[in-house]
Chain A
Amino acid sequence: MDKFANQLHEDAAIIDAEITAELDSRIHASLQNVTPESARPRAPAARSPLFWWGSSLTGIAAAFGIIAIVNLDRPGPLPQVQVQEPVAHIVVPELDLEVEAAMLTSPLAEELAKLQADLRRAEEAVRDDVRIDF
């Protein structure tokens, strides 16, 4: 041991760490009230791969069995039920509107007659002027 290590060792030994009778009895009394806890239960041993394969196959077989049972117990086709159309017929009420037909063509016919009369007068005027028969 080198000088430095020796020095540390000696300096530690100098530190007064006397256990008083009071502390000793206190520790002893407190230990009397403690019960050691039992060791934690050991983890179960690792299972062999065969175990896991077996478990998987059993699970798959059980799942298929349940699916088959459920499908066999399924009831037959349900009776056809005619369902009325829920949409109600919409009845549009006929409106009894008493409306007189508008004589929209009357002014135009009058206008045409006036134009033809004007044309005839114009022809007569021209005939009178030039005395030419068309």
Chain B
Amino acid sequence: MSDELKLINSAKGGSVDAFTELVHGYRERLFRFLLTRCANHADAEDALQDTFINAYRYIATYNPQWRFSTWLYRIAIRNAGRLHTENVAELGELSDESNDPLAHCIAESERHNLWRSAKRLLSDEVFAAMWLRYVEDMSIKDIAVVLERSSSWTKVNLLRGRRTLEADMNNGAQDPGSEAYG
């Protein structure tokens, strides 16, 4: 039995310490992902906290057939979506560039980050698919599970997302004055 599975079983038995150890390696990765999906830094923190709480509460429903990270990302995406919906319902559409957590979390010298372009050009779902593929190295099947989409949808949209970003990257390289890659 792998260490991760042992920790999962202990967490199922009610051990907070085992769960904390289990998710320790996922904290920064998840938080980075949530920063790309949430309207501001505080929301990303709330979403991370909710993700761990929900994961611990419902750990008995985790199916070891899937990678633990797949299950965790699925919860994270749902929490981020729920927070977004609540915020929009309370405050209206949140499209304030000045609050974009990505802008705050990328050093001044690194502002021409591909993920900022991705956030500008791609839909939330395609962005998430790209992130899970190129940052988390997830398989198409796992991405489809996380996003609750078909494998075909995932493949097609990964290809489209990649083409869009490559085109934007090439345009940026050709146009030194452009915003993204100047």
**Could you say which of A9, A28, A31, A40 contacts B134, with CB atoms under 8 Å apart?**
A9
What 6 new A-B contacts, CB under 8 Å, besides A17-B32, A19-B27?
Answer: A7-B169, A8-B135, A28-B16, A31-B20, A34-B57, A36-B11
Contact A12 B134 (CB under 8 A): yes
Q: Give the complex CA separation of A71 and B131 in angstroms.
A: 76
B53 to chain A, nearest CB (A): 6
Q: How far is the CA of A4 from the CA of B172 in the complex (A)?
A: 14
Residues of A within 8 A of B48 (CB): 23, 27
B12-32: which residues lie under 8 A (CB-CB) from chain A? 12, 14, 16, 19-20, 27-29, 31-32
B114 within 8 A of A: yes
Q: List residues of B (43-71) whose CB comes within 8 Å of A's CBs.
A: 45, 48-49, 52-53, 56-61
Q: Which residues on B sit within 8 Å (CB–CB) of A24?
A: 27
Contact between B16 and A15, CB atoms less than 8 A apart: no
Would you list the 7 A-B pairs with minimal beta carbon distance, nearest first?
A17-B32, A39-B60, A8-B134, A12-B135, A16-B105, A17-B31, A11-B114
Q: CB distance B53 to A31 under 8 Å?
A: yes
Tell whether, in the assembled complex, residue B49 and residue A27 are in contact, meaning their CB atoms are under 8 Å apart: yes
Contacts of A15 in B (CB 8 A): 32, 35-36, 102, 105-106, 113, 115
Taken together as a complex, chains A and B put the C-alpha atoms of A17 and B11 apart, in Å, by 26
Asked if A32 is an interface residue, CB under 8 A from chain B, the answer is yes
A17 to B131, CA, bound (A): 15
- Report whether A19 and B31 are in contact in the complex, using a CB–CB cutoff of 8 Å: yes
> Does residue B93 face the partner (Cβ distance < 8 Å to A)?
no
| A interface residue count range (under 10 / 10 to 19 / 20 to 34 / 35 or more) | 20 to 34
**26 A–B pairs (Cβ distance < 8 Å), ordered by A:** A4-B162, A4-B166, A8-B130, A14-B107, A14-B110, A15-B102, A15-B105, A15-B106, A15-B115, A16-B106, A16-B107, A17-B28, A17-B29, A17-B31, A17-B105, A23-B45, A27-B52, A28-B20, A30-B52, A31-B53, A34-B57, A35-B57, A36-B14, A36-B57, A37-B58, A39-B12
A9 — which chain B residues lie within 8 A by C-beta? 134-135
B28 and A30 contact, CB distance less than 8 A = no
Contact of A32 among B16, B130, B166 (CB under 8 A): B16
Contact of B52 among A8, A31, A37 (CB under 8 A): A31
B165 at the interface (CB under 8 A from A): yes
Minimum distance in angstroms from B96 CB to a CB of chain A:
19
Please tell me if the beta carbons of B105 and A34 are within 8 angstroms of each other in the complex: no
